[in-house]
Amino acid sequence: MTPVGSPKPVDALDSAGQQPTATVSAPQSGREFAPARPIWQVLLIRPETVTLALLIGAIIVGSQLSRFFLDISYILESSTLYSEYSIVALMLTLVIISGEIDLSPASMMALSACVFASVFQAGAPIWLAILASFACGLAMGAFNAILVIGFRLPSIIVTIGTLTLYRGLAQVLAGDRSISHFPDWFVGIDYREILDVPVPVILFTVAAIIVGLFLGMTIPGRQIYQIGTNEIAARHAGIRVQRIKAGLFVGMGLVASLAGLITASRLASVRYDMATGGELQMVLMVMLGGTYIFGGRGTILGTFLASWLLVIIATGMTVANIVVTSQLIVMGVLLITSIIATNAIYARSQR
């Protein structure tokens, strides 16, 4: 017999002959959480902070190579050589954040510029030639979107193919000749200044502000992050994933055509091989800025800083008389290093 007041054995049966359910007592203390990191540590361990530090370091090293690095007008003049790539890199940032990639914008620049030059050379008004260039960019972006979104093909494979396709079409259209003889008001955009700042630099800065506000302060901009983080969850949340991604690819085509016109104005001529190799520099700007290659993370500020970093590095190597082949090696090493560093920073932030 069990004494009165004694606890009932666990294996004893109740009056209904059922095994009693053991009661689990609540824990005495709540779950222990890791202490919050100091704000200074959060700010320091960010890709944009690393890019800013590299930019400052590059300026210091460059000033040792040439005294012109301390002249802001010299830096602004040098940056006009990369402004069109920088503008396209802003749009490429959105595409990569969404979880996709586009490696064809440099070829789209060439083809849209060749369309512009060919239409103008055929006797059409220049405004019609400009519209034809934008229509070509729209068509190329839509074609990429159809292959990636409509047929669900990997964007990296599709855009490698269209990279070659668009460059080939540009060669068929323009041949090996250089098309020039444009109106005087169209040529030399890099020599035109507003308050001593070249127009291409102003265009890049304004575009960075607009795209940055769109990405950080609008609903579609936040949805791009959600798509890149988890596309399936974004679909279940009611986000129109296909429409947004298609819009990004079409936007890439339009921006590339604008960059092609800027390049044509700067060079005062058009060739099928213009912007050759620009894909590397555009992707490098985005990766150096801390955009996550697998999507979901990145900022326009990072790409903006990385664009200036690339300008300083490229100008410094030119001043140091480093040959072009060696410059490409440096660019490749920077690209690989930036991807590794970005992955390491984001992995640490998730601990």
Per residue in 337-350, pLDDT tens?
Answer: 888 877 787 776 66
Pick from 165, 69, 180: which is nearest to 114 by CA? 180
Residue 287: CB partners within 8 Å, gap ≥ 6? 293, 306, 335, 338, 339, 342
- In tens, the pLDDT along 105-129 reads 999 999 999 999 999 999 999 999 9
Per mean pLDDT, which of 38-47, 140-149, 318-327 is the most reliable? Answer: 140-149
- In tens, the pLDDT along 297-332 reads 999 999 999 999 999 988 888 887 877 777 778 888
Residue 16 predicted with pLDDT over 60: no
What's the pLDDT score for residue 186? 95
Mean residue pLDDT across the chain: 86
- In tens, the pLDDT along 53-104 reads 888 988 888 888 777 777 888 889 989 999 999 999 999 999 999 999 999 9
Least confident of 39-43, 165-169, 178-182: 39-43
Distance of alpha carbon 211 from alpha carbon 229, whole angstroms:
20
Tell me the torsion sign for CA atoms 227, 229, 233, 237.
negative
What's the pLDDT score for residue 150? 94
What's the pLDDT score for residue 123? 94
Distance of alpha carbon 55 from alpha carbon 51, whole angstroms:
6
Percent of residues, the chain, with pLDDT higher than 90: 64
The residue with greater pLDDT, 322 or 153, is: 153
Residue 333 pLDDT level (bands cut at 50, 70, 90): confident
Residues 14-28, mean pLDDT to the nearest whole number: 43
Torsion of the alpha carbons at 341, 342, 343 and 346, rounded to the nearest 10: 120
CA angle 161, 164, 168 (to 5 degrees): 140
What's the pLDDT score for residue 133? 98
Residue 37 predicted with pLDDT over 70: no
Residue 36 pLDDT level (bands cut at 50, 70, 90): low
Distance of alpha carbon 202 from alpha carbon 243, whole angstroms:
31
Other CB atoms within 10 Å distance of the CB of residue 285: 30
What's the pLDDT score for residue 44? 58
What's the pLDDT score for residue 61? 85
Tell me the torsion sign for CA atoms 268, 273, 276, 279.
positive
| Element spanning 118, H or E | helix 105-121
Residue 31 pLDDT level (bands cut at 50, 70, 90): very low
Residue 137 predicted with pLDDT over 50: yes
Pick from 339, 344, 286, 336: which is nearest to 310 by CA? 286
What's the pLDDT score for residue 19? 44
Residue 144 predicted with pLDDT over 60: yes
pTM, rounded to two decimals = 0.86
